[in-house]
Amino acid sequence: MVNRSIQSGRRYVLAFIIGTVLFFGGFLIVNSLSYLEYQRISNLQDQLAYKIFEDKLGYSLFGQEICSDDAYRKISEDLGFQGRIIDDLERKFGKEDARVLERKKFYSLILLEHFEFVNLINQECGKNIHTILFFYSNDLKYLTHSEDLGRMLGTVYGRNDNLVIYSFDVDLDSEVIKDLKDKYFIQEPLEILIDGDIKLRGVKSIDEIEQHL
Taking only the tens place, the pLDDT of each residue in 154-212 is 899 888 888 889 999 999 988 989 999 999 998 888 899 999 889 998 888 888 898 88
The residues near 52 (Cβ < 8 Å, ≥ 6 apart) are 75, 78, 79, 82, 110, 113, 114
pLDDT at 5: 53
Domain spans, the chain: 128-213
The torsion angles phi and psi of 156, rounded to 5 degrees, stand at -60, -45
Could you give the dihedral angle defined by the CA atoms of residues 7, 13, 15 and 19, in that order, rounded to the nearest 10 degrees?
Answer: 180
Percent above pLDDT 70 for the chain = 65
Which class is domain 128-213? alpha beta
Q: Does the pLDDT value for residue 131 go beyond 90?
A: yes
Predicted confidence band of residue 86 (pLDDT cuts 50, 70, 90): confident
Element housing 169 (H / E): strand 163-169
Listed residue (109, 117, 112, 107) closest to 61, CA to CA? 117
The residue-averaged pLDDT of 54-73 equals: 69
* pLDDT 10s digits, 10-41: 665 666 566 665 555 554 444 444 555 666 66
| Neighbour tally for 111: CB within 10 Å | 22
pLDDT at 19: 61
pLDDT at 33: 43
Contact 152, 204 (CB under 8 A): no
Distances (CA, A) of 84 to 80, 89, 90, 122: 7, 9, 10, 26
Total-model pTM: 0.72
pLDDT at 2: 46
Q: Does the pLDDT value for residue 55 go beyond 80?
A: no
Predicted confidence band of residue 133 (pLDDT cuts 50, 70, 90): very high
Distances (CA, A) of 157 to 37, 160, 165, 185: 30, 5, 7, 24
Contact 100, 93 (CB under 8 A): yes
Listed residue (105, 48, 130) closest to 81, CA to CA? 48
The residue-averaged pLDDT of 47-74 equals: 69
Top mean pLDDT of 28-32, 87-91, 150-154 is at: 150-154
- When comparing pLDDT for 1 and 124, which is higher? 124
Q: Determine the residue type at 131.
A: T
Contact 12, 4 (CB under 8 A): no
Listed residue (118, 148, 117) closest to 131, CA to CA? 118
